[in-house]
Amino acid sequence: ISKIGVLTSGGDAPGMNAAIRAVVRACSYYQLECIGVYRGYQGLIEGDFEKLDARSVRNVINRGGTFLKSTRSLEFKTKEGRKKAHDQLKEAGVDALVVIGGDGTFTGGVFFSDEFNFPIVGIPATIDNDIHGTDYTLGYDTALNTVVEAIDKIRDTASSHNRLFLVEVMGRDAGDIALNSGIGAGAEEILIPEETAGVERMLESLKKSKASGKTSSIIVVAEGERSGKNIFQLAEFIHEQDENYDIRVSVLGHIQRGGSPSCFDRVLASKLGVGAVEALMDGKTKVMIGLHHQDVVHVPLETAIKGEPKVDKELRRVADITSV
């Protein structure tokens, strides 16, 4: 391996810049060339490349987003698209890739690596934390802090007006953001995609909260929650059960994806970036570099993508106890 390409793909996440920086600096340390690929797999197809050296990544560790930009490329899902991408890499003399992103990014990477026998290593980056084999994905910790800060503010106004707030957080298939931010911000109830009894639980909790003398409440709802109702319909539904509730809805949206990465995410990005370059140098391919019990681990990309959804039962128990 003498020339490594690096790209970010899919939904962005705070810490992506810090990961690119670590990859570039590790290449520099080991005297490998590093090529930045702009706009993810689409840029790979179009040959949108730039040589990066240690100084190219100054002042990026603290910045949210990704300076290499990100896309969800439809063309890369086609055989022709991937062939074009391979031609571009050959022409530029790139002999291995580090792809930073979530399950869609890894799926594309597996296809590409299988078709062209091309070495690829993945770094998990998504605020959803829905990748298997790593305890944390890049951006998740920062997003949690953003959500908790926002809910703290909502709590102030909820309490002043004796209101019930429904707060929607991101998480298409995974309730990690909802469950952790819900506990951290002291929510009365938390609805997550992995559980179906959400709405009944919620009504029960609201009754209990009222009976115990609570005058305001916060319910955290993951966007992928599976009651079949969107958050505004949920608010209406609660109002139909008890019209005394003064309900407001707040959808936090994409503020969760932005902002300066937390120190945790910066350190994680640095460890995984260095780990990715070292894995490629060791001849590894089709693995994700993850963190498990503080150790950097190598997980087959297929496993990272395909694992079963996991609900942390202990967290759910703690949430139930602390919201009485």
Residues forming the active site:
128
CB-nearer residue toward ligand F6P: 138 or 166:
138
39 is in an annotated binding site: no
Residues 257, 263, 264, 269, CA torsion sign: positive
d(CA 33, CA 159): 56
**Interface of this chain with ligand F6P, residues 104 to 133, rule: CB under 6 A:** 126-128
**Interface of this chain with ligand F6P, residues 152 to 171, rule: CB under 6 A:** 170-171
Q: Does 220 bind ligand F6P (CB under 6 A)?
A: no
- What's the min distance (Å) between Cβ of 270 and ligand F6P? 22
The correct pick among 155, 257, 286, 316 for binding ligand F6P (CB under 6 A) is 257
72 is in an annotated binding site: yes
164-169 sheet: strands from edge to edge: 189-191, 217-222, 164-169, 247-251
State the alpha helices, DSSP H only, in the chain: 16-29, 40-46, 79-92, 103-116, 140-160, 176-184, 198-211, 231-241, 263-281, 301-306, 313-322
214 is in an annotated binding site: yes
**Structure token pair of residue 122:** 């993945």
CB-nearer residue toward ligand F6P: 41 or 118:
41
In degrees rounded to 5, what are phi and psi of residue 128?
-70, -20
CB-nearer residue toward ligand F6P: 128 or 141:
128
Annotated binding site for ADP: 21-25, 155, 186-188, 214-216
> Residue numbers of the site for ligand F6P (CB under 6 A)?
11, 102, 126-128, 170-172, 223, 257
Binding residues for substrate: 126-128, 163, 170-172, 223, 248, 254-257
